[in-house]
């Protein structure tokens, strides 16, 4: 963020009664497409949050794979207070937070502090503002040490199995573990471990 706000979500001027239902549908459909694309990307997506994240801005944080926030950050879905319930942000919130915490945010519009957001699982880590860039880059660099193809397979599988029942999730992931072993990098990683050397990834 530049200034006190990370993202306040939709521009409410775009949602006035001067625009028709078709325009409003396009706004929300595009937003949903962006949020789902984040999870479909083959690389991990990290939110680096420094400030207030509200409504679709909070949805964006909840949709990312990892979220690192400064201590001054806050998270809210205040749409209910202006007569527009945050129903689309609720999709991401409801998948990131315990139900009662998500519903309290949605029903009251009151913000969570960065530490509350961490405690409830909306974000991964809270750091002092002056350490935000350093900590985010540290996570990014650690991820970049791994095989790109293995990460892509793992991310796609995680999101595929998470909504399934336990038996189905294990069936999916058991097959993927076997598929992972057929990847060049799957074999390279095991060989490198056995030979006590650093792996050389295909990318």
Do residues 91 and 47 share a domain?
yes
Q: Which residue has the higher pLDDT, 146 or 11?
A: 146
In a domain, 200, yes or no: no
pLDDT at 18 (0 to 100): 67
Percent share of the chain, pLDDT over 70: 94
* CATH code of 75's domain: 3.90.226.10
pLDDT digits (tens, 9 = 90+) for 144-164: 999 999 999 999 999 999 989
- pLDDT higher than 70, residue 29: yes
0.85 exceeded by pTM: yes
The structure tokens 């957001």 sit at 117
- pLDDT higher than 90, residue 28: no
Do residues 110 and 10 share a domain?
yes
- pLDDT higher than 90, residue 180: yes
Do residues 14 and 45 share a domain?
yes
Where in the sequence is the domain holding 151, given as residue range(s)? Answer: 146-195
pLDDT at 2 (0 to 100): 66
Do residues 78 and 122 share a domain?
yes
pLDDT digits (tens, 9 = 90+) for 163-174: 899 999 999 999
Do residues 98 and 185 share a domain?
no
* CATH code of 184's domain: 1.10.12.10
Do residues 40 and 50 share a domain?
yes
Do residues 52 and 69 share a domain?
yes
pLDDT confidence tier of residue 62, bands split at 50, 70 and 90: very high
Do residues 138 and 162 share a domain?
no
In a domain, 202, yes or no: no
Do residues 138 and 164 share a domain?
no
């Amino acid at each position: 963020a530049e200034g006190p706000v990370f993202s306040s979500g939709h521009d409410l001027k775009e949602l006035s009664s001067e625009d028709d239902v078709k325009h409003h549908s396009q706004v929300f459909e595009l937003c949903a497409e962006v949020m789902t694309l984040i999870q479909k990307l083959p690389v991990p997506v990290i939110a680096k949050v420094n400030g207030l994240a509200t409504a679709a801005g909070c949805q964006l944080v909840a949709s990312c794979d990892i979220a690192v926030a400064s201590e001054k950050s806050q998270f809210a879905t205040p749409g209910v207070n202006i007569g527009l319930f945050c129903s689309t942000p609720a999709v991401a919130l409801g998948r990131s937070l315990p139900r009662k915490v998500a519903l309290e945010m949605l029903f009251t519009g009151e913000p969570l502090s960065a530490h509350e957001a961490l405690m409830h699982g909306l974000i991964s880590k809270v750091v002092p503002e002056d350490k935000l860039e350093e900590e985010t880059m540290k996570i990014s660099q650690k991820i970049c040490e791994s095989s790109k193809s293995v990460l892509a397979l793992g991310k796609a599988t995680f999101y595929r199995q998470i909504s399934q029942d336990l038996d189905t999730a294990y069936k999916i992931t058991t097959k993927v573990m076997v598929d992972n072993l057929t990847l060049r990098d799957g074999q390279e990683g095991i060989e490198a471990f056995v030979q006590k050397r650093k792996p050389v990834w295909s990318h």
